[in-house]
Amino acid sequence: MNRTELALAASVLKPAAEWVRGQIRRDRANRYSLIRDWTLPAVRCSFWPDAVTGWQTPLFRISKLDRGVVSITIKAYQSTDSENICDGATLSPDRLPGILPAALFHDPWYCRLPRDSAKQYELLADALGVPRKRLRSFGDNLFYAIARAGGCPWLVARLYHAGIRVGYPIVKPFIAAFLAAFLAAGCAGCLVGPDGTFIDPGDYQPPEWEQVNP
C-alpha cells in the first residue's frame, strides 16, 4: 500500500472512529436507577452448592432456596453523573422487551460488584468453589434469562448475549433492530440460558426503574 492509499484509508477510518467514539459517549451518558429492591424469586443456578445458604453484597442478596435454585435480590440503586451504575445495553437499543430489566441486573453485577470490594468476586467464588470467570458468565447467562422472561424474542436475546460475551460489536444494534421487527416469539425450549440458567416467566415480576436523563 503506497502513501496515497494510506492517506485515503486514514481519511475514511478517522471519521468512522470518531463516529464510534461519539456513539459510545452518548450511550454511556444514559443513566438508569432501580427505584425499589427487585427480587428474581427462583433462578436456576446449577453450580450453587448446598453448603452455601446465602450471600450478600452492597447491591445484591442471594439466598439458596433448593438444590440448584437461588433467589437473587438486586438492591435499589441511584445512578448519578459521578457514579453511573447502569447505562443500559451498550451500543444497543434499550427498550426492546426484557432488555432494560436484564441490563438493570447485569450492569451492577458485571461492572459494579467488583468495585464494591476488590475481593467480592474472589470471596464468593471461593465460597462456591468455582472460578471467578464462572460468576461473570453466570451474570451474562442470567441477562439472557431475564430478557427471555421479560418477553424478548429468543434470537434477539441470543444476539445480545453473544454481544456481552465478546465486547462491543458495532453491528449489534442494527441486527437487533432488524430481528425485533420480524421475530414475534421465541422457541419453546429457548427460555433456558446457555448453562441451564432459567427464570420461570410465571414467577417473573419486572423491576421499577427510572431514567435519570430522559
pLDDT of residue 15: 60
pLDDT of residue 50: 86
pLDDT of residue 155: 84
What nine digits make up the cell of 65? 432456596
pLDDT of residue 185: 39
pLDDT of residue 202: 79
Low-confidence ranges of the chain (pLDDT < 50): 19, 114, 168-172, 175, 178-189
Spatial separation of the C-alpha atoms in residues 52 and 32, rounded to whole Å: 32
What nine digits make up the cell of 202? 410465571
Helices vs. strands in the chain: H and E counts, helices first: 7, 7
